[in-house]
Amino acid sequence: MMETNTKVILIVSIVVVLIIAGAAYLLYKPAPSQAVKIVVAARKGTYSEGLKLAAKEYEAKTGIKVEVVEFDYAGLHEKLAQEVVQATGAYDVVMMDDPWLPEFASSGLLVPLDSLLAQRGGVDPDFIGSAVNVCRYKGKLYAIPYVGNVQLFVYNKQLFAKYGLPEPKTWDDVLHAAEVIHDKEGIAGYVFRAAKGNPIVTNLLPIFWGSGVEVVDNEGNVDLDTPRAVQVFNFILELKRYAPEGTENFNSPEVKAALANKATAMSIVWPGWVPNLDTKVWKVIVPPGSKPMIGAWLLGIPKSSRHQKEALDFILFVTSREMQKKLALEAGVPPTRKSVYQDPDVVAKYPWYPVQLSALENSKMRPRLPQWKRIEDTLANYWHQAFTGQMSPEAALKGAAQEVRAILKGG
């Protein structure tokens, strides 16, 4: 009896598998290519939703189909890194985090846009200067800024009023307020987005910058192992005492949840998270202590693309004034044009936009180094170990400095 049953299971599963395989092949046989299609490689999230919205409009307007393929942060970087060598032409438009630009520009992946744009009137001065700057490498333009991301800071103004705390202007203010609120209110005073990788680096850098430690600069000077830097890290560890349990593994979803639940009183935020915050409770300001970190997302064109002209048309469409306003209002995508930040309809919906604009105009970018991805990973490794108590700050910063110097030397 067992034999027959097993045979039946076997036959059924083989048949099922074959059916699925056949069906899938039939369904996904590449359609005979008629119209031009543009493929966009994007990072999954709010901004890719914006691209999809724009894609629909673009298709309605021009008949050109735009497909948005989504990846997570690390996956997108990996795909682009592969594309440098494979040059498959799979993507016509690539979305990039601004620190990646030096890497992909220097390795020759991206089409330089200066001459192409010159034919269309050059770079529109409506774009915010700092956003355009991160699209340049060694003076040449390689991308157009799509998302005007800049780090902002929110604090619970109700709680601050309750305890008579002033608006934080320095990180010492933050620490003091965190301590007070943690002790008196019983919630976390501050929350770190400290998951290993890109999150912990982008979250701790502003604290270093705010105390005058560059970490790494554009020329490759490293001041990561100075006594001042160690002081800063000890400060960070002290601030951690008022942070929620598990903060060392928090990524965007967890921080957003903490803010939504009012489980914390302060946090660094990216603009995309702000629309979901109750403005009666939270006030949006420029991060205390130093120039805010810009984290723009850019759109570029790989040299391997077979539809470069159409790609550029789409990019200019997405970043046009009308589209940026629409995406800001409907998808919550922070714009990169001054006029949109000052548009009355937009400001009515997002009252903190003037703050964001001034933050962008005064923003600071991460070092323009092609090896940034490796440097970021190295910093993340060491900082995360020190943050979770596996290493002392001195040892971690020393180790990190050593490795970063080696990477910059070409090792």
Partner 1 sequence: MGSERWVGWLLVAPALLVLAFLTLFPIVYNVYLSFHETRITYRRIVYVWRGTENFAKMIRDPLFAAALRNTLYFMAVATASEVLLGLGLALLFKEGFRGREKVAPIILLPMMLPTIVVTAFWKTLLHPEFGAINNILEALGLPPVNWLGDPRVAMNSIVLVDLWQWTPFVFVFLYAGAQTVPRDLEAAALVDGASRLQLYRHIVIPLLRPYILVATLLRLIDTFRLFDKVYALTGGGPGVATESLTLSVYRYAFNYHMLGYAAALSLVMLGILSLVILAYLAYTRGGGVL
Partner 2 sequence: MRAGRVLVYVLVALALAWTLFPIYWVAVTSFKPNSEVITKPPTWIPLHPTLEHYYRLFAEEHFHVYIANTAVVSLGSTLLALLLGAPASYAVARSKIGAAAGRGFLAWNLVVRMFPPIVMAIPIFTVFRQLGLIDTRLGLIIAYQVYALPYTIWLLNGFFRDIPWELEAAAMVDGASTLQTFARVALPLAVPGIVTTVILSTIQTWNEFLYALIFIYSQEKMTITVQIAGYIQEFKIEWGLLASSGLVSSLPVLALSAAVQKYFTRGLALGRGVKG
Q: How far is CA 122 from CA 37, 109, 118, 126, 311, in A?
A: 26, 22, 4, 11, 17
State yes or no: residue 136 binds partner 1 (CB under 8 A).
Answer: no
State yes or no: residue 6 binds partner 1 (CB under 8 A).
Answer: no
State yes or no: residue 20 binds partner 2 (CB under 8 A).
Answer: yes
Number of Cβ within 10 Å of residue 49's Cβ equals: 18
Torsion, CA 222, CA 225, CA 226, CA 227, rounded to 10:
160
> Stretches 69-77, 153-161, 393-401, 402-410: which one binds partner 2 (CB under 8 A)?
69-77
Site string for partner 2, 86-115 (x = CB under 8 A): x-x-x-------------------------
Residue closer to partner 2 by CB (options 8, 35) is 8
388 binds, among partner 1, partner 2, none (CB under 5 to 8 A by kind): partner 1
State yes or no: residue 253 binds partner 2 (CB under 8 A).
Answer: yes
State yes or no: residue 33 binds partner 2 (CB under 8 A).
Answer: no
State yes or no: residue 157 binds partner 1 (CB under 8 A).
Answer: no
State yes or no: residue 21 binds partner 2 (CB under 8 A).
Answer: yes
Q: Tell which phi-psi region holds residue 2, choosing left (phi > 0), alpha (psi between -120 and 50) or beta.
A: alpha
Q: Which of 85, 121, 138, 280 binds partner 2 (CB under 8 A)?
A: 85
Among 81, 82, 49, smallest CA distance to 68 is for 49
> Stretches 35-43, 117-125, 164-172, 244-252: which one binds partner 1 (CB under 8 A)?
244-252
Write the DSSP string, 289-347. TSPPBB--EEEE-BTT-S-HHHHHHHHHHHTSHHHHHHHHHHH-PPPSBHHHHH-HHHH
CB 285, CB 167: distance < 8 Å? yes
Quote the CA–CA distance of 173 and 330 in Å, as a whole number: 36
Q: Which of 45, 89, 112, 197 binds partner 1 (CB under 8 A)?
A: 197
Measured N-to-C along each axis, helices 308-318 and 46-62 cross at an angle, to the nearest 10 degrees, of 110
Residue closer to partner 2 by CB (options 197, 220) is 197
State yes or no: residue 161 binds partner 2 (CB under 8 A).
Answer: no
State yes or no: residue 69 binds partner 1 (CB under 8 A).
Answer: no
